[in-house]
A and B are shown apart, each in its own frame.
Chain A
Amino acid sequence: MSLTKHHPFRGPTYATGFLLAMLVVALVLAPALSRLQSDLRPLTSPLSADDLSCQGGEYQTTHLLVLAGGCQAVFTVMYGQNLSHWSATGQYNFSFAIPWIVEITPSGELVRLASPLDPYAGTANVTVGPKEVNLSSVESMNVTSASGNWTPDDTWAGSGPQWSISSQALGTTTVDVVFHLSNVTANASANATENASYEVKFDVGVSGWPWASSDDLLGFGLESLGAEGAHFAFNSSSRTLDESWNSTGRTFASLVFGGLANVTYPAPPVGHASVGEQVGLFYAASPARESVALVTFGGVAGNYSSVSYDPWVVFSPTPPLSPSSSSSSGWPTWIEISVWLVAGVVGVSLVVSILTRGRRLRLEGEKLVEGMRRVISEGADTPHRPR
């Protein structure tokens, strides 16, 4: 008996469909996993390993964690749904520091500058009241003469503003920064809850400034370090420094500059300085994950003994889990597209496999029938068949 060799149709089978789907999954998810790993990479902690001996403070509520760096005048506000792990929340942080206090002439020339001492000379602590929690840092800075121009909206590539600063101290000033979590139901525990405003107000106070001229203005830099994968941009209409994700453009945190500051003279009354148009920005790069806003206080006579200013930070109402999840209401993200793509490929592979399997089985069945008929016809004349 001889059977003709046949080559039945071999379409994609379940195995090939599965392998194809897995290949697509690997190709699509490889950058996603890389991106996820990058997102979860912790940012620089406000407390480096060498600074752990310094006195710092922190306070945590359900979705907010505020850290006051004892060895640096840095405050870090972290915002998210899982604050128990630094790497999971680091991407939502918003760190602030006061890098300089400056005195500038009405024409914008820098005359005096104070910057944090090295080593740091200050204290930070947390006080918990019945309705609010305060995190404060009090720091002394040396004031020196300086020269240069304040040019807003510049980009400095890591070198900082090009100012000439004298090393000879002209006096000292005291800078205090206080964060107020006024909406907290404070009970001095880490399980405290805040209401839905998601705002963090903070005051910056400068006192004891050795003025060069009573015509000058005082200002301070407010350095902001945002989340990895995010950038800052100043919105002049809302007077906010908005932090947005690079991937989606969605703003999740805004630093709101107050329009007024209170100044105190050695003798009453208290004056009010306007800060409106004097907010300018330095950007570290474009898009800027780091920026310095120079907030100057004008409209009042100089020589005031202290100034108090209270900007605040507003976070998006819903704590985000990840940059991609924060854009669910907008365009589908590339992760969602990838998931749908993979699902589509798997579905199509399954359908193709099922269809081709039926066709293949039919063809092979017909071959069997053909083989049976051949055996029947040959078998009737086979010599060994007994008759």
Chain B
Amino acid sequence: MSPSQPSALGRPPISGPVVSADPSGQFPPWEPSRSVVSGEPGSKEDEVRLSLRIVIHLDQTGPPGDGGVAKRESTQQGMAQVLSVTQGAVSKVLSRLVAAEVVRHERHHVRGEDRRVRVYFLTARGEELAREIQYRFGLPSRVPLRGQTA
């Protein structure tokens, strides 16, 4: 998907500097430190990095589609799997982002689950943050994240 194409959310692409997906091999600033990846107690910087990744990730996944069926990647477990971090680390950061009204959660059906589960979406404030990230770092609206294939 090129940056000029509309995103899956139907939004027009955000204009700005466009960067490749880390051609230098250097991690962008939102990449996790090892402590978060391993599940050990991370620093505040680790939590900020994970917050950035969660915001970007939720911007990519978007809200549930028609029929109210959400993606597994919008659940805590799915996020932990996609972002390669522990579910505890995701839960901790999500609770703070929810309290800061960056993220909201609802119960929706997810494919493969019998019961409705809690899924997370960006609020208006979260979407604003996501747009700032995309603008500053020239990210397209759907960027392959770690654990995802483009």
Determine the main DSSP class of B at the interface with A.
helix
Q: Does A365 contact B (CB under 8 A)?
A: yes
A318 interface residue, CB < 8 Å from B? Answer: no
B19/A379 in contact, CB under 8 A: no
| Residues of A close to B22: CB separation below 8 A | 386
B106 at the interface (CB under 8 A from A): no
Q: A361-B96, A379-B137, A380-B136 are in contact. Are A367 and B129 (CB under 8 A)?
A: no
Known contacts A3-B48, A385-B137; A368 and B29 CB within 8 A of each other: no
A52 at the interface (CB under 8 A from B): no
Interface residues on A, range: 20 to 34
Q: Is the CB of B137 within 8 A of A362?
A: no
Report B-chain residues with C-beta under 8 Å of the C-beta of A371. Answer: 44-45, 47-48, 51
Q: Is the CB of A384 within 8 A of B26?
A: yes
How many whole Å from B66's CB to the nearest CB in chain A? 31
Stretch at the interface among B2-10, B82-90, B97-105: B97-105
Q: Nearest chain A CB to B18's CB is how many angstroms away?
A: 10
A385/B19 in contact, CB under 8 A: yes
Q: How far is the CB of B31 from chain A (nearest CB, A)?
A: 11
Residue-by-residue, is B68-82 near A (CB-CB < 8 Å gives 1, otherwise 0)? 000000000000000
Give the CA-CA distance A371 to B45 in the complex, in Å. Answer: 8
Contact residues in B for A3 (Cβ distance below 8 Å): 44-45, 48
Cα A387 to Cα B23 in complex, Å, equals: 10
A-B contact count (CB 8 A): 84
Q: Which of B1-46 contact A (CB under 8 A)?
A: 17, 19-20, 22-24, 26, 28-30, 44-45
Residue of A nearest to B137 (CB): A379
Main SS at interface, chain A: helix
Closest to B100 in A: A365
Within 8 A of B (CB), among A1-20: 1, 3, 5-6
How many Å from the CB of B49 to the closest CB on chain A? Answer: 8
Q: B62 to chain A: closest CB distance in Å?
A: 20
Within B96-150, the residues touching A (CB, 8 Å) are 96-102, 129, 132-133, 136-137
Instruction: Check if B20 sits within 8 Å of A373, measured CB to CB.
Output: no
CB closest chain-B residue, reference A380: B136
Report Cα–Cα, A374/B129, bound state, in Å: 12
Q: Are the CB atoms of B97 and A379 closer together than 8 Å?
A: no
**Given A375-B52, A376-B132, A386-B20: A368 in contact with B30 (beta carbons within 8 A):** no
Per the bound structure, the CA–CA distance linking A173 and B3 in Å amounts to 122
**A387 proximity list for chain B (CB < 8 A):** 17, 19
A364 with B99: CB separation less than 8 A: yes
Is there an interface contact between B100 and A369, defined as CB atoms closer than 8 Å?
yes
Complex Cα gap A72–B51 (Å):
85
Task: Tell me which residues across on chain A come within 8 A of B133, comparing CB atoms.
Answer: 372, 376
Which of A1, A6, A362, A376 touches B100 (beta carbons < 8 Å)?
Answer: A362
Once bound together, how far apart are the Cα atoms of A376 and B101, in whole Å?
A: 19
Query: Which A-chain residue is minimally distant from B103 (CB atoms)?
Result: A365
**Among candidates A6, A364, A369, A379, residue contacting B129 with C-beta atoms closer than 8 Å:** A369
Docked Cα-Cα span, A378 to B28, in Å, equals 12
A-B contact pairs, 9 of them (CB 8 A): A6-B44, A361-B95, A372-B48, A375-B52, A376-B129, A379-B136, A386-B20, A386-B26, A387-B19
Given contacts A371-B51, A376-B129, 20 further A-B contacts (CB under 8 A): A3-B48, A361-B98, A361-B99, A362-B99, A365-B98, A366-B100, A368-B48, A368-B100, A369-B100, A369-B102, A371-B48, A372-B48, A372-B129, A375-B48, A376-B132, A376-B133, A376-B137, A382-B29, A384-B26, A387-B17
